[in-house]
Amino acid sequence: MPRLHLYAVLLLLICVVTPARAEDAVLARLFSDRKVSGTLLIANLKGNALHLHDEARANKPLLPASTFKIPNTLIALDEGVVTEQERLKWDGTDRGVPAWNRDQTLTSAFKNSCVWCYQELAQRIGIARYRQWLKKIDYGNADPGPGLTSFWLSGDLRISAVQQMLFLHKLYKRELPFKASSYDALARIMLMEEKPGYRLYAKTGWAGYGEKNTPQTGWYVGYVETGTEVWFFALNMAITKPAEGAYRQQIVMEALKLKGII
């Protein structure tokens, strides 16, 4: 298979074909039935299948929020500022999320989207090393800005759903400049669900969580290994009320089932 085959397919199907030909009515209904707006892309590793809803939004750069924990985990591991087994010590401050109010491992911090944990890692990494890494891995606009502990939450970093897909593809093929041990650890940490027939690796994100301003941005990105194929997905959606946050995973999982992937 040619290098970056998925990139070529996405470029052709998203940037060249008309939106009418690219639009997937099945995916569109998953959003309209819930009365929310958003985009969803699903593409396979072979590069011969793409399902897409809302081309324009798929190309819109947005804050990555906690989906940045995927590259952030790799960066932290590669820089040696944390180990997979290390316990990050809670300082006793109640941050309003019960799951955060305890010591964390890297695995629990990732699964609980523990903001203070990754802010501590950011302090260990520093903005200069982030700038270098973001350029090396070509992540979104590769601009952390000056906000060391908030650039992925409310700062200058932006990434589109299309760019998320391209990043995930390179991540899966291990085409990014990380150590094999870092890739191995991330795979263990990122595994969210394992059932007969598939393994799901994913991360949620919610830019603006807990704030009053709406709409906020919800994310769900990752990939599914089915045994015979690998499928990548990237969803982002506008969240206007807290209850809509659950739609991120619901829409993706329903889409994967409707497309016969899982």
Residue positions annotated with a catalytic role: 66
On whether the CB atoms of residues 36 and 237 are closer than 8 A, the answer is yes
Q: What are phi and psi of 43, to 5 degrees?
A: -140, 150
DSSP characters over 215-257: -EEEEEEEEEE-SS-EEEEEEEEEESSGGGGGHHHHHHHHHHH
User: Secondary structure of 69-91 in the HEC alphabet?
Assistant: HHHHHHHHHHHCCCCCCCCECCC
Rounded CA separation 103/155 (Å): 27
Rounded CA separation 117/76 (Å): 12
